[in-house]
Amino acid sequence: MLNIVLIFLISIIAFLFLFYMGKEDVSAPKEMNIDLYTIPYLVQEVKNTFEGILNKNIADLNLNRQETIKREKMKSLIRKNLRSCSLGDTGAKEYVKDYIKEILQKNSGIREDNIDGIIPFHHSAMLTPQDKFEIILYLFKKQFQYDALSMLIETYHLADLKIDGDTKHYEITKEEVEEIYALESICLHFIDKLEVLAQRIYQLYKGFGAIDEIRDMKLDGVSGGISGIPFDFYNYHTNLEKSDHRNLNAYNSIWIFFQGKTIHLSFLGFESQRELVRVCKNIYRYGNPGQLSEKRGYIANDMKDGSRVVTFRPPFSDRWAFFVRKHDSILDMNIYNIITDEGNELLIEILKWMVRGCLVIVITGEMGSGKTTLLKILIQYIRRTYTLRIHEQIFELNLSRVYPDFNILTLRETDTISGQETLDIMKKTDGTVIILGEVASHIAANWLVETSQISKMTMCSHHARTTEDLIDNLKIAQLRVGGFHNEFLAEEQVVKAINIDIHMENIGGHRYISRITEIVPAEDKDYPVKFLPAALEYFQRNTDRKAYKTVDIVGFENGKYILKNSFSKRASNRILMNLTEGEREEFINLFHSYIREEMV
């Protein structure tokens, strides 16, 4: 009996010992291992917390009705913001980040005395270039909001041209980031550190990785994966992930488009192929445009804030890549702040009367030359009494946001509604002015010629380098999809439809209008009465005779806009027909002797 009692007592003591030891082990990590927390660990913790909230059955909590409804609404709000934050919704993003900060403090025990163990804020030599850049950008954002990146670049002249031997390029290097960090003499409080940490966790969890904050800034665009060697190639030939040349890989390629300059952020990258792929798969998803797959190797779409995004993947492209083009950097609709070169007063007056006079205008130029910006600005000269109907492949002009007082409706083709159907239904919406956005295909070029014949005014942009190239492209469109079989007749149709070519240039970030060219149709004249002269005239018209001539109205020479010619009688009469009595006198006085003789 005594042995049994002893065995029983020993068992109880052993049980109590193991119980308290186990209890101590469970609680220890919160205090003992906090400094061992890593960013990936915290990302997973945040993810698990959100999943736990969303998967929890509120009914199991046995709450009263009012509290149950409150919890359900909160759960629904969290789900909504988690869904929207990765679609370009900055409001939802801030909501999720605030929740992440709460999770970090309450669940993970992040405090002022241990946060430096996750990101070494206290030791600048241990911070990576990405850490320093994100800290700098955060501090600039506190002061300048979404102009932060622009102010940072301009303050430290980061967009200046760099010369490397015989080559010239735009680049922001890790040495520049480290120098700026030292010059800023940064001192962070706990709340600042928590903001930087929450942003890092957010961008790896629901955001767009290393470009997440950059994408929100007011700049022209950001892209990734477009330089370096495709990962699959290097992964096949060498183990690049484990080599000292990971920065050569395409997944560490990030570029921004700033004031017409394409700048390489060589200090920044996605750090892994998996992260680049994740961003490419998420960044285009607004509006459910479909699935990016091997069969469908690219998707062009817009984001919730109006940015245009195009994503690519193998095997259609040699790498995973994305391009985000933003137009919210152009919020200042004062044309004098955009067209600044000498002689801009004359140029702006001519632009105003061309728009007010309802000429058919095509803005041409290379990508990044400022076509869309100019198109948006010129809308201000359209009469408020006119109704605007916009056709775009992707919603990127966002004219209703810029001109909320105008009568504007924007349509685009979808998987089930063709572009031709869109234009056909647009004709039934009482539209006065039709804007086609970017004409980038033969079908769209044919629409341009078609709409210019039925609307009071048409405007669009095109990538042609010269006026002749523009006309040739539109002529080919007429031959291929417009129903024309005679080349001369197709060209004649084009030149009768288009009045003006405004050509944009971008030289080293300096955007300007290089010329305004009028397209003047050849004058029709009767055939001679006699047979031989008539036959000669016929063969001339059907061989080498052009259906038009080009006349430069304004040119950009030696840094100055110069008036070179007046409008033709055809264009002048059309402008005058659409002006009021007082406006006609202003228009005539603009050119003085240049056009007085033509309009007598």
Show me where the domains of the chain are located.
1-31, 123-325, 335-599
Give the mean pLDDT of 140-156: 95
User: Confidence class of residue 551 from pLDDT cuts 50, 70 and 90?
Assistant: very high
Determine the angle formed by the axes of helices 487-497 and 467-480, rounding to 10 degrees: 120
Residue 550 phi, psi (nearest 5):
-110, 140
For residue range 579-599, list pLDDT tens digits in order. 998 899 888 888 764 444 444
Percent of the chain having pLDDT more than 70? 86
DSSP-assigned letters across all residues of 34-47? GGG--HHHHHHHHH
- pLDDT surpasses 70 at 239: no
Q: Determine the pLDDT at residue 554.
A: 95
**Which CATH number does the domain 123-325 belong to among 1.10.357.10, 3.30.450.90, 3.30.70.890, 3.40.50.720?**
3.30.450.90
Q: Determine the pLDDT at residue 131.
A: 97
Helix-, strand-, coil-residue percentages of the chain, each rounded to 5: 50, 15, 35
- pLDDT surpasses 70 at 11: no
Q: Determine the pLDDT at residue 369.
A: 87
Give the mean pLDDT of 225-232: 84
Q: Is the peptide bond before 315 cis (omega within 30 degrees of 0)?
A: yes
User: Confidence class of residue 215 from pLDDT cuts 50, 70 and 90?
Assistant: very high
- pLDDT surpasses 80 at 416: yes
- pLDDT surpasses 80 at 7: no
Q: Most confidently modeled of 71-75, 195-199, 402-406, 559-563?
A: 195-199
Q: Lowest-confidence range among 53-62, 205-214, 317-326?
A: 53-62
- Which residues in 394-426 are b (16+ Cβ under 10 Å) and which e? bbbbbbbebbeebbbebbbbeeeeebeebbeeb
**Between vectors from CA 403 to CA 399 and to CA 407, what angle results, nearest 5°?**
85
What distance in Å separates the CA atoms of residue 351 and residue 357, rounded to the nearest whole number? 10
The answer to whether 78 and 91 are in contact (CB under 8 A) is: no
Radius of gyration for the chain, computed over Cα atoms and rounded to the nearest angstrom: 32
What distance in Å separates the CA atoms of residue 405 and residue 555, rounded to the nearest whole number? 34
Q: Determine the pLDDT at residue 529.
A: 67
Give the mean pLDDT of 177-192: 94
User: Confidence class of residue 29 from pLDDT cuts 50, 70 and 90?
Assistant: very low
User: Confidence class of residue 31 from pLDDT cuts 50, 70 and 90?
Assistant: very low
213 contact partners, CB below 8 Å, separation of at least 6: 134, 137, 138, 141, 199, 203
For residue range 471-502, list pLDDT tens digits in order. 999 999 999 887 888 888 888 899 999 999 99
How far out from the chain centre does Cα 499 lie? 30
The CATH H-level superfamily of 335-599 is P-loop containing nucleotide triphosphate hydrolases (3.40.50.300)
Q: Determine the pLDDT at residue 356.
A: 95
